[in-house]
Structure 1
């Protein structure tokens, strides 16, 4: 495993998920990314997962720019 791959693998993020409603067999609420102090609202569980994935991708991009 290359050093860059290991460095990215060790990166972690902390999300606080607040589920406010459960309708149509899914969640609605907000997600807060602690490291960047950003909060976004989601309307479905899939949207919440996509927001997490985008946040992690954004964090990886910033790490690459710093290198």
Structure 2
């Protein structure tokens, strides 16, 4: 993972996750965030959480407003695209929103465990 050194406004707490395939917690996809140069490959839910946590750590501002991240849509509909918005965080107690762009659904989560469970429920179907 290479983090860009560019100046990003405080509040870049939104990431876009594109899932190419998923089976029993094994994910093939990528995560995009304003602090990353391009896409970061992800292969599991835990890897996604750890990467997102390290990106939020860089913010050093506990209760920031929501940022804007480009909303890349997959035209062929074969991929699942999610936006993860971390609204509040204290250690691994996160609160935020998971937005499933393909289905135009928004789900609130109250912890990292709940976020992982949401991904597993949605993608396991």
Q: Conserved in 1, the CA contact under 8 Å of 2:92 and 2:112?
A: no
Consecutive unaligned residues in structure 2, runs of 5 or more: 1-20, 23-27, 29-77
TM-score by length of 1: 0.63
Q: Deviations over 1:27-48 (max 9, x none)?
A: 1100000111100000001100
1:49–1:25 CA distance, 2 compared to 1 (3 A): closer
Which protein has the bigger strand share? 2
Which protein has the bigger helix share? 1
1:56–1:24 CA distance, 2 compared to 1 (3 A): same
TM-score by length of 2: 0.36
CA distance in 1, matches of 2:105, 2:124: 15
Determine the structure 2 residue equivalent to 1:55.
Answer: 122
Runs of 4+ displaced beyond 3 Å: 8-11
Consecutive unaligned residues in structure 1, runs of 5 or more: 1-7, 59-67
Q: Deviations over 1:10-56 (max 9, x none)?
A: 85311100000002532110000011110000000110011111111
